Amino acid sequence: MRKKLVAGNWKMHGSLVENAALLAAIKPALQGIEAAVCVPFPYLGQAQAALAGSSIAWGAQNLSEQTKGAFTGEVSAAMLVDFGCRYVIVGHSERRSLYGESDELVAKKYMAAQAAGLTPILCVGELLAEREAGVTEAVVARQLDAVIAAAGVASLARAVVAYEPVWAIGTGKTATPEQAQAVHAFIRSKVAALDVGVAAGLVIQYGGSVKASNAAELFIQPDIDGGLIGGASLVADEFVAICRAAAK
Ligand code: PEP
């Protein structure tokens, strides 16, 4: 059976003081439950110090596709490894839409992460207009194909995919379990057409306004293997309840 994995995406939130309280609250509550938090770069050391030895992994929300050099403001995969990261989010819709990250750049970042031994959490998902135009599967396929073309289908054995319909991120509008399951099944079948074994083991998270109150109905779907959680990952009780729902 595939594991279920819940990862928090703190986005550009937090402070040393706020993070200390949040980490201190989730750590004992999630003892023995595999989960992850993806924190802003400056707080990686804090997450590492607080979570080392626990069942909660930590990671970043972005990385450079470059390994080193004159790239002012960028952060390499090796630097994330230096801080004990296991995961890094690539291709989040906010990176794609606000910072112009193309499918090709996302694929390069995905490969840079894997080359350093990190597990990329590859975000895919359609805009509301794309869903309304009936092209959800085409968009998700294009985003996945860019990575498969660059890194090969076998690379997905060392990755997590997060299906995040853009219209559901931070909006309070969650995809119904049926809507999410349909796209997750599409992703798995698309990968299965290339490699059945990789598809069977692929962890596909759902992201988009997941809360404690809707997590269970999403996670019970056969192709939903946990979640990528934004806003609710900043509230200890919410995040703990979501992680517990996935661990059931
Ligand atoms: C996200 O940031 O990836 C996300 C899914 O956010 P939220 O849970 O707030 O919708």
Domains delineated in the chain? 5-247 (3.20.20.70)
Catalytic residue selected from 126, 130, 164, 238: 164
Mutate to test the pocket of ligand 1, among 228, 234, 238, 239 (most ligand atoms within 8 A of CB): 228
Confidence (pLDDT) at 212? 98
Confidence check: pLDDT of 197 > 90 = yes
Question: Is the shortest distance between the CB of 231 and ligand 1 below 6 Å?
Answer: yes
The full 3-state SS of 147-177, as one line of letters, equals HHHHHCHHHHHHCEEEECCHHHCCCCCCCCH
- pLDDT band at 130; cut points 50, 70, 90: very high
The catalytically annotated residue of 65, 92, 94, 184 is 92
Helices 136-151 and 177-192 meet at what angle, rounded to 10? Answer: 40
Give residues with Cβ within 8 angstroms of 103, minimum separation 6.
91, 142, 143, 146, 147
Mean pLDDT of 129-140: 98
Whole-angstrom distance, CA of residue 201 vs CA of residue 197 = 6
Residue 228 φ then ψ, to 5°: -110, 120
Long-range contacts, stretch 128-136, CB < 8 angstroms, 24+ apart: 128/166, 128/167, 131/165, 131/167, 136/165, 136/183
| Among 5, 6, 9, residue to substitute to test ligand 1 (most atoms within 8 Å of Cβ) | 9
| CA 11 to ligand 1: nearest atom | 2
- Mean pLDDT to the nearest integer, 103-116: 98
pLDDT at 238: 98
3-state secondary structure (DSSP) of residue 199: helix
**pLDDT interval class at 13 (50, 70, 90):** very high
Amino acid, single-letter form, for residue 137: E
Q: Is the dihedral of CA 107, 4, 232, 127 positive or negative?
A: positive
Q: Cα torsion for 179, 183, 186, 191, to the nearest 10°?
A: -150
For 176-221, where are the E strands, in sequence order?
Answer: 203-207
Q: How far apart are CA 202 and CA 198, in angstroms?
A: 6
Nearest CA to ligand 1 atom 7: 230
Using a 6 Å cutoff on CB, does residue 164 contact ligand 1?
yes
Tell me if residue 92 is catalytic: yes
**Averaged pLDDT for residues 36-51:** 98
91 pocket-lining for ligand 1 (C-beta < 6 Å): no
- How would you classify residue 89: left for phi > 0, otherwise alpha for psi between -120 and 50, otherwise beta? beta
Average pLDDT over residues 10-32: 98
Q: According to the model, what pLDDT value does residue 89 have?
A: 99
pLDDT on residue 116: 98
pLDDT digits (tens, 9 = 90+) for 168-190: 999 999 999 999 999 999 999 99
Q: Which of 209, 214, 239 to mutate to test the pocket of ligand 1 (most atoms within 8 A of CB)?
A: 209
Ligand 1 in contact with 230 (CB < 6 A)?
yes
pTM: 0.98
pLDDT surpassing 80 at residue 124: yes
Residue 1 confidence (pLDDT) above 80: no
Mean pLDDT of all residues in 143-158: 98
Distance between CA 150 and CA 141 in Å, rounded? 14
Which residue blocks in 38-127 are alpha helix, DSSP H? Answer: 44-51, 77-82, 93-98, 103-115
Average confidence (pLDDT) over 82-107: 98
pLDDT tops 80 at residue 65: yes
Task: Tell me the C-alpha distance between 227 and 82, whole Å.
Answer: 26
Average per-residue pLDDT for the chain: 98
What percentage of the chain has pLDDT greater than the value 90? Answer: 98
Percentage helix, strand, coil for the chain under 3-state DSSP, each rounded to 5: 50, 15, 35
